[in-house]
């Protein structure tokens, strides 16, 4: 069947009218910051204090874009007659974001919670070589990592918090026991 003359124009005008009345979706970046989801994969932050230089993240990274250098240090024995121990000291931790594919494997495999996603995304550079970011920058990004979501009210208490609470309770009980005799006025008289 032959199309009705002018039906194409009417359809086009209908689309124009429909979109004219809709709210615009254009983001006025950089004047207005985009409203990103909290778990956005922007960059990777490093919490250096947790890193034991186990190298797991560098080994598992499919792009081999994590560079870690370290040296060993000898720690004296904790008690007389004990053995000296050695520990790894971090010298360099860098990620080449021109190679990173944001798979998140490094963050998943880190056994010590030293790597985190940050929603920070404004790290464009004019030279690709400047996209290798060193530990100071990765640490700076750590402060843009959002707080973890609240625990489910029915969830088991995390091991670390339970251990810290028990220690605090023991210390408080010991302090209370120490104070008790001097607080007792009868004890002072006798």
Report whether the peptide linkage leading into residue 155 is cis, meaning its omega lies within 30 degrees of zero. Answer: no
User: Judged by CB under 6 A, does residue 138 bind ligand SF4?
Assistant: no
The nearer residue to ligand SF4, 59 or 170, going by C-beta atoms, is 59
User: Judged by CB under 6 A, does residue 63 bind ligand SF4?
Assistant: yes
Task: Please name which of 68, 121, 132 lies closest in space to residue 96, comparing C-alpha atoms.
Answer: 132
Kindly write down the DSSP assignment for every residue of 10-21, as one continuous string: HHHHHHHHHHHT
CB 101 within 8 A of CB 63: yes
Provide the mask over 22-61, with x wherever binding to ligand SF4 is found by CB under 6 A and - wherever it is not: -----------------------------xxxxxxx---x
When binding is defined by CB under 6 A, the residue of 73, 87, 92, 102 that contacts ligand SF4 is 102
Task: Find all residues with CB under 8 Å of 34, minimum gap 6, and list them.
Answer: 27
User: Judged by CB under 6 A, does residue 101 bind ligand SF4?
Assistant: yes
C-alpha 100 chain-centroid distance: 16
User: Judged by CB under 6 A, does residue 145 bind ligand SF4?
Assistant: no
SS3 content of the chain, % helix, strand, coil (to 5): 35, 15, 45
Find the shortest distance in angstroms from Cβ 103 to ligand SF4: 4
Task: Please name which of 70, 67, 53, 38 lies closest in space to residue 110, comparing C-alpha atoms.
Answer: 53
CB 68 within 8 A of CB 114: no
Q: Which of residues 64-83 bind ligand SF4 (CB under 6 A)?
A: 65-66, 68
User: Judged by CB under 6 A, does residue 142 bind ligand SF4?
Assistant: no
Find the shortest distance in angstroms from Cβ 171 to ligand SF4: 30
User: Judged by CB under 6 A, does residue 140 bind ligand SF4?
Assistant: no
The nearer residue to ligand SF4, 77 or 103, going by C-beta atoms, is 103
Q: Which residues in this chain contact ligand SF4 in the complex, by CB under 6 A?
A: 51-57, 61-63, 65-66, 68, 95, 100-106, 110, 112, 114-115
């Amino acid at each position: 069947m032959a199309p009705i003359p002018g039906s194409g124009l009417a359809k086009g005008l209908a689309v124009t009218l429909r979109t004219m009345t809709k709210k615009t979706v254009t983001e006025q970046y950089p004047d207005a910051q985009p409203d990103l989801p909290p778990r956005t994969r922007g960059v990777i932050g490093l919490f250096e204090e947790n890193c034991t230089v186990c190298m797991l993240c560098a080994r598992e990274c499919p792009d081999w874009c994590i560079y870690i250098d370290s040296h060993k240090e000898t720690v004296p024995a904790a008690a007389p007659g004990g053995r000296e121990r050695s520990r790894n000291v971090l010298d360099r931790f860098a990620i080449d974001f021109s190679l990173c594919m944001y798979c998140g494997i490094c963050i998943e495999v880190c056994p010590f919670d030293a790597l985190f996603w940050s929603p920070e995304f404004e790290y464009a550079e004019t030279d690709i070589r400047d996209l290798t970011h060193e530990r100071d920058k990765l640490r700076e990004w750590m402060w843009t990592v959002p707080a973890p979501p609240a625990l489910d009210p029915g969830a088991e208490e995390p091991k670390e918090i339970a251990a810290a609470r028990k220690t605090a309770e023991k210390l408080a009980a010991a302090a209370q026991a120490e104070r008790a005799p001097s607080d007792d006025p009868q004890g002072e008289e006798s």
